[in-house]
């Protein structure tokens, strides 16, 4: 919950909430056929209550494991800060899942920086905040030497 200078006075919890909300919106897209990541709810309790955030992440994991097949989605995005003028982007559920994985890893990398700087006593798993392709590349490069 603590605002951290290294995060421009945002908290680690805000990054966790942001990840959760993106997955939530993807799950809505799974049900409705349409997704819009601009429609985040910014539920403050998710960034302040770690037990609730963990429960929500676990529930999302169970839902994702229940995916049976890919399906088309229409994503909306508004890149105009002056007015509402969303564009429609054709995508699929699996493509959005892949996007959300990479998006989460990106935010985990930011969280990792905050943890190293503000809470050095916390042990962080070796691969936390590192893309799977990077881990594989590093492993394969070490094996080749």
- State the pLDDT at residue 144: 74
DSSP states of the chain: ---BGGGTTB-HHHHHHHHHHHHHHHHHHHHHSEE-GGG----HHHHH-HHHHHHHHHHHHHHHHT--S--EEEEEE---SSS---EEEEEEHHHHHHHHHHHHHHHHHHHHHHHHHH-TTS---TTTT--HHHHHHHHHHHHH-
pLDDT in tens, the chain (145 residues): 999 999 999 999 999 999 999 999 999 999 999 999 999 999 999 999 999 999 999 999 999 999 999 999 999 999 988 988 899 999 999 999 999 999 999 999 999 999 999 999 999 999 999 999 999 998 888 887 7
- State the pLDDT at residue 111: 98
pLDDT digits (tens, 9 = 90+) for 19-46: 999 999 999 999 999 999 999 999 999 9
- State the pLDDT at residue 121: 96
pLDDT digits (tens, 9 = 90+) for 77-89: 999 889 888 999 9
């Amino acid at each position: 919950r603590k605002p951290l200078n290294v995060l421009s006075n945002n908290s680690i919890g805000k990054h966790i909430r942001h990840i959760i909300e993106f997955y939530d919106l993807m799950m809505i897209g799974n049900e409705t056929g349409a997704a819009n990541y601009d429609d985040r709810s910014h539920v403050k309790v998710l960034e302040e209550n770690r037990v609730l955030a963990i429960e929500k992440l676990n529930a999302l994991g169970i839902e994702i494991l229940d995916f049976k097949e890919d399906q088309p989605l229409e994503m909306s995005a508004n890149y105009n800060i002056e007015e509402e003028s969303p564009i429609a982007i054709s995508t699929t559920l699996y493509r959005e899942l892949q996007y959300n994985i990479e998006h989460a890893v990106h935010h985990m990398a930011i969280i990792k920086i905050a943890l190293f700087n503000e809470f050095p006593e916390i042990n962080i798993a070796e691969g936390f905040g590192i893309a799977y392709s990077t881990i594989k590349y590093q492993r394969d490069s070490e094996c080749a030497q």
